């Protein structure tokens, strides 16, 4: 099916080439199905893509809004402006036990961002880890 017999068949009967990105039309389908409320395990079976791959694509989409395959290495785009980063650090200093999701809610409540522009919970966790 693919060049020089590189194609493998996963446990679900789907073809893949190890180390190659999943074709973008399949990525789009995964995100569309999830948006329509289809559970990842069902998406995985229907599209014959491993559950891990489905999860990875959906997580990346939630974090970055992108369905593009990841680039190995490269620098991460900044999720938050320096002003937001400082606010996050400030909230953490005030209350060291605060959770990332509480910080996100507070950024929104304080009018610094709205639901769409606020950094994801995982981005906030990453920021806090980077500051330790």
Distance separating alpha carbons of residues 56 and 106, to the nearest angstrom: 28
The lowest-confidence range among 62-66, 107-111, 119-123 is 62-66
Distance separating alpha carbons of residues 39 and 26, to the nearest angstrom: 16
Band (pLDDT 50/70/90 cuts) for residue 98 is very high
pTM of the model: 0.47
Band (pLDDT 50/70/90 cuts) for residue 66 is confident
Half-sphere exposure at residue 89, Cβ-oriented, CA atoms within 13 angstroms: 12
Domains in the chain, please, with CATH? 3-64 (1.10.10.10), 82-131 (1.10.10.10)
User: What average pLDDT does range 114-131 have in this prediction?
Assistant: 86
| pLDDT of residue 3 exceeding 60 | no
| Mean of the per-residue pLDDT values of the chain | 85
Task: Output the pLDDT for position 7.
Answer: 82
| pLDDT of residue 132 exceeding 80 | no
**Residues 11-59 pLDDT 10s:** 898 888 777 788 889 999 999 999 999 999 999 999 999 999 999 999 8
Task: Output the pLDDT for position 11.
Answer: 85
| pLDDT of residue 2 exceeding 50 | no
């Amino acid at each position: 099916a693919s060049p020089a017999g590189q194609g493998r068949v996963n446990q679900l009967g789907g073809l893949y080439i190890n180390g190659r990105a999943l074709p973008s039309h399949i990525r789009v389908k995964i995100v569309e199905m999830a948006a329509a409320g289809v559970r990842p395990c069902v998406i995985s079976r229907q599209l014959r893509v491993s559950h891990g791959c489905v999860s990875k694509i959906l997580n990346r989409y939630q974090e970055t809004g992108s369905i593009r395959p990841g680039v190995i290495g490269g620098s991460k785009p900044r999720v938050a402006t320096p002003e937001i980063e400082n606010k996050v650090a400030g909230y953490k200093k005030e209350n060291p036990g605060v959770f990332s999701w509480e910080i996100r809610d507070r950024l929104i409540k304080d009018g610094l961002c709205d639901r769409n522009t606020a950094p994801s919970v995982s981005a906030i966790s990453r920021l806090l880890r980077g500051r330790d």
